[in-house]
A and B are shown apart, each in its own frame.
Chain A
Amino acid sequence: MKHTVCTITNSRPLIQVRCLAVLLVVTLATAPESLARAEPELNSAGGPPKVRRLTEAQYRATIADIFGPNIAVVGRFERALRSDGLIAVGTSEAGLSPFSIEQYNISARNIASVVMSQERRDAFLSCHPAAADTFDKTCARRFIGEYGLRLFRRPLSDAEIDLFLSLAEAGHDKLGNFYSGLQFALTGMLVAPDFLLRIERFMPDSARPGSFRLDNYSSATRLSYFLTGSAPDAELLAAAAAGQLSNNVELAKQVDRLMASPRFETAIRDFFADMLYFNLFADLAKDSEIYPAFNSAVAADSREQTVRTITHHLLESGGDYRELFTTRSAPLTRSLGILYRMPVATRHGWSMGEFSESSGRAGIQSQVSFLALHSHPGRSSPTLRGKAIREIFLCQHVPDPPADVDFTGINDIANPERPTARDRLEAHGTNPACVGCHTLMDPLGLTLENFDGLGVFRTRENGAEINVSGSLDGTEFVAAAGLGQALYDYPQTTSCLVDKLYRSAVGGSISSSERPFFKYLNQVFADNGYRLPELIRTIATSPGFYTITPDPQHQELTNAYVAPGDRS
């Protein structure tokens, strides 16, 4: 089977498009379950172990899972760091500024005070002291052990238990109350690096001498955040404790269980919100005179609409990933109905509609979330939209514009010779310094010009008919539906998803030694009709996902967690 991979690189001043023909050999053409344990992926040497900061979504989900959904997270979160197109990758690079620690501390104090409050503490404590003003060491130790395990995603060492026990006791001595002491020990755990950071630990791989893999608890943590967007639950921690995650059969059981849980959808939502840059909704502003229909409810609903389209298609319908660019499904609310000019039966909440042929819409690239995010505050932008399609869906980097350019033609709206964005960009496109990159972006974005800067349908701009023809690397088409079909047919559409999904799961880039594994995953994705859950299952059950190449600068050959009592 022949598969074409194109890479666009910037070797100044010209943009080069290199196409490599890659021959993929399919070794097995049997059922996907057996493919998942096929030979080629064993070649993966894995990447380095990571230290990853919890994202805002992961922090919230983790707190809700451990302490229940009714505990408010009152601290604020700063804008997340995005690296290589993903916040998930940025978590391996993001620092912890004084601001972030200040805010984590505010959350920690509040969570701990609610957990230890008289009204709520019975739900969290399995024991109580004889009287509140006596320090019950056994009971305190039990609480610290139980919650330490959940928060640090591994059992605490004896020394750590002693530490938090000492803090609880000192707090009790000072404040005269057992629960107050425990409250501050819990506050400490909630600001500890082992909670806020996923510190991956590894060990020699007994199955492959000379190789390394994540230790049992780090494996559980990587798996859990990948499949549920949250910390390992009690059952997964128990499987890790029993060393079951290095056993293929037991691992597959855990993977099936987690994928069947409602949290799986949360993880998918988080991944696509990251991939689609939805954090930018926090900064989204539209001019209120030009787009009076825009408000924060419309913004929130448009974001949710796209996420619902994705989960409905990929999870509920088990659909082909490529069809996200052609689907006419339209989850709608009343406020979105106004923008889309579609009737919505439900007064509150969501109902599923269908975009008609005449709506001009097909695929998530024609939904308001994409169109509005990649526009200016007062007008659409074929260039920004084209750039977003290349970078978000095709994993192609478009270089920054050259420093010294004359763009004056684009804003010449008063010029009756250039009523549409296409006319203005064409004037601009005669500049040889610009044309290389604009050829990558504009022919894609211009096909979405039937939608204004907010994403509302139009056929004319400044009185002139809008021409929505365009092309993708030589394939010509018309309008949003044509663009969707071109994306459907484009080979890198699917390999880009595999790339982003895998990098999101491991929090880094794909190293050269992981390339064969990556190719294998692409093949599995194709063989399964581009169904996302099967791809995820394959990743999660592959030993390659847990394999580690330690950073040569690591001071210790293994930093695997050693359970109390294992130490000699």
Chain B
Amino acid sequence: MKKFNRRSILKGLLNGSAVGVALPVLDMFLDDNGKAFAATGQRIPVRFGTWVWGCGHIPERWIPTTTGFDYTMPADLEPIAPYRDKIALFSGFDVKLDGVPNKPHITGCLGLRTGIPVPSEKVEAPTLDVLISDAIGQSTRFRSIEVSTSGIQRSYSFRAAGSPNPSEVSPLTLYQRIFGDGFQDPNATTFTPDPATMVHKSVLSAIAEERRHLMRQVGAADRRRLDEYFTSIRQLENQLALQLQPPAPVENFTMPEPPPELELDSEMDNVLVTHRLMSDLLAKALQCNQTHVINVLLSDTTSNLRRRGSTTTHHTLTHEEPVNPELGYQEQVGWFATQSMLAWRDFLDSLAKIPEGDGTLLDNCLILAHSDCSIAKSHSVEGIPTMVAGGAGDRIRTGYHMAGRADPVSRIGLTIQQAMGLPVERWGTNSMETNRNIPELLT
């Protein structure tokens, strides 16, 4: 271990105590391309989210028959009709397997999110939400927040294989994590930094300084893991740094009520309740800039959703339910598909009901909604249903349906990263590698 420099601790402490005067605007909230609040002149940051539902869609009930702005709303998308102007629908974009075995419900989801299909959960690149949080989430209290609303701790946000960002499953623990200890009311009238927080922060800085010394002692694969450890330590340091500064005021923010304790399971009615509560909490967290990146998993990709009294889950039904000859599709599967889109509307409601600037929070978000496959019965990863919602602070255009015509779905991932300001020209590997963004999506 190198000789520790005591001066750096003391310096850190002094810097900490120097902060006592209110700062007008925090750098962290200044985003190069964001719009500004009329009242304060403060820039509004653009936030990013993913919203995932399992087991795909019934194409004839989901894909509009025409492309462009004037499409007729298909049956299963009826719930989101109020938001049609704020959503771009993408059909017919594929995960290209290039011979990689298709692990049902996994390969499609992670292929779409990393640009690289993998035959397991061992991702070969970070998921795009992590790439985006590395760019826009460094200075917020949480780099990102993940939730799963069907009672099962699953997450499709990965920094690397073996490093998922775990999901919160309970609205109450989500509330406590965001709005409990360490939360600063942005509109509080007084501010006093806690000297213990300064000491705590200097401890973490000292631990972080051990990085180079430790890296030499382990093999290559473990260096990657240690690197992640130190990245996480930096986030924690940052959380404490934020507590040492007066929070930037937030227009229209009111503290949310703690949610009730709920039965957390995969029964659809319960899931919808859990999902609404969590969506509201996440919207509030985005509003007061606790994080700029969220990931919501409505149902696992191997959807565990079920109806009370039914012997079979949504996923099992996709394989086992006979097609109803009169309807021409699997009736019960259709019910879950419709419920999933109802939940999607609930999520958009949570964002759209928060006024921000001259619009709503949704206008300053970019939300990527997607599933893991197109037709769950055959696990096909061609034509995975995908939507982009929000305004991203006027950086994206929505309101239309676009057919991918078997283009790689990585075009969507690439465009989204560019819309979020990442300097990326090319994304994905093999047939998924692309430098063709979707010009229609960008302003």
Interface of A toward B, CB cutoff 8 Å: 12, 48-51, 76, 78-79, 81, 83, 90, 93-102, 105-106, 109, 157, 159-160, 162-163, 166-167, 170-171, 173-175, 180-181, 184-185, 187-188, 191-193, 196-197, 199, 201, 282-283, 285, 287-290, 376-379, 400-401, 403-413, 453, 551, 553-556, 559
Contacts and interface: CB of A to CB of B under 8 A. Distances in A.
B203 A96 contact: no
Contacts of B10: 170
Interface in B310-350: 310-313, 316-317, 319-322
A79 B165 CA distance: 10
B199 A175 contact: yes
Given A95-B225, A167-B9, A551 B214 contact: no
Given A98-B142, A157-B1, A187-B203, A408 B321 contact: yes
B13 interface: yes
Residue among B3, B218, B231 with max Cβ neighbours from chain A (10 Å):
B218
Nearest to B107: A403
Given A51-B226, A180-B196, A99 B165 contact: yes
B322 A93 contact: no
Nearest to A171: B199
Contacts of B203: 167, 171, 184-185, 187-188
Contacts of A553: 219-220
Contacts of A12: 101
A377 B266 contact: yes
B225 A413 contact: no
A81 B158 CA distance: 13
A342 B202 CA distance: 60
B240 to A, nearest CB: 9
B387 to A, nearest CB: 24
Interface stretch (B43-51, B75-83, B204-212, B431-439): B204-212
A76 B174 CA distance: 12
Nearest to A188: B203
A93 B159 CA distance: 13
A101 B229 contact: yes
A378 B235 CA distance: 42
28 contacts: A51-B225, A83-B162, A96-B225, A96-B228, A96-B232, A97-B163, A97-B165, A98-B143, A102-B239, A159-B3, A170-B202, A175-B195, A184-B196, A197-B226, A199-B218, A283-B151, A283-B152, A285-B151, A285-B265, A287-B309, A377-B266, A403-B378, A404-B380, A411-B316, A412-B322, A453-B311, A555-B217, A559-B217
B312 A379 contact: yes
A159 B378 contact: no
Contacts of A98: 142-144, 165, 231-232, 235-236
A173 B232 CA distance: 28
B259 to A, nearest CB: 17
Contact of A193 (B144, B162, B214, B265): B214
A403 B106 CA distance: 11
Contacts of A413: 311
Residue among A185, A287, A409 with max Cβ neighbours from chain B (10 Å):
A287
Contacts of B319: 405-408, 410-411
Nearest to A403: B379
Contacts of B309: 287, 289-290
Contacts of B217: 199, 201, 555-556, 559
Contacts of B441: none
B166 interface: yes
A207 to B, nearest CB: 24
Interface string B338-379: 000000000000000000000000000000000000000111
Residue among A76, A401, A403 with max Cβ neighbours from chain B (10 Å):
A403
B308 interface: yes
A162 B101 CA distance: 53
Interface in B88-115: 101-104
B426 to A, nearest CB: 26
B269 interface: no
A290 B313 CA distance: 13
A185 B312 CA distance: 53
Interface string B290-315: 00000000000000101011111100
A191 B311 contact: no
A376 B312 contact: yes
A50 B218 CA distance: 8
Contacts of A409: 320
Residue among B163, B216, B222, B267 with max Cβ neighbours from chain A (10 Å):
B222
Nearest to B229: A96
A49 B265 CA distance: 41
Given A94-B163, A408-B321, A555 B198 contact: no
Interface residues of B, number: 80
B233 interface: yes
Given A102-B239, A403-B380, 9 more contacts: A159-B2, A166-B206, A174-B198, A191-B204, A191-B207, A290-B311, A408-B319, A408-B320, A556-B216
Contacts of A287: 267, 306, 308-311
Interface string B116-149: 0000000000000000000000000011101000
Contact of A95 (B162, B306, B322): B162
B173 interface: yes
Nearest to B160: A95
A181 B377 CA distance: 61
Nearest to B133: A98
Contacts of A173: 13
- Closest CB pairs A-B (n = 5): A95-B163, A411-B320, A78-B166, A378-B311, A551-B219
Contacts of A193: 207, 210, 214, 226, 229
Contacts of A453: 311
Given A159-B2, A413-B311, A555 B320 contact: no
A79 B204 contact: no
B320 A407 contact: yes
Given A170-B6, A175-B196, A404-B378, A100 B232 contact: yes
B26 interface: no
B164 A97 contact: yes
B308 A101 contact: no
B153 interface: yes
A416 to B, nearest CB: 15
B161 interface: yes
B405 interface: no
A100 B322 CA distance: 44
A202 to B, nearest CB: 10
Given A94-B162, A101-B233, A285-B265, A184 B153 contact: no
A48 B219 contact: yes
Contacts of B235: 98, 101-102
A555 B216 contact: yes
A97 B232 contact: yes
Contacts of B144: 98
Contact of A97 (B195, B220, B228, B308): B228
A166 B265 contact: no
Contacts of A192: 207, 210
Contacts of A166: 4, 6, 9, 206
Contact of B311 (A90, A167, A187, A379): A379
Contacts of A171: 199, 203
A159 B220 contact: no
Contacts of A99: 146, 165-166
B202 A378 contact: no
A47 to B, nearest CB: 12
A174 B216 contact: no
A99 B143 CA distance: 9
A464 B161 CA distance: 47
Contacts of B214: 193, 199
B381 to A, nearest CB: 9
A437 to B, nearest CB: 13
A76 B153 CA distance: 13
B401 to A, nearest CB: 27
A426 to B, nearest CB: 15
A12 B267 CA distance: 36
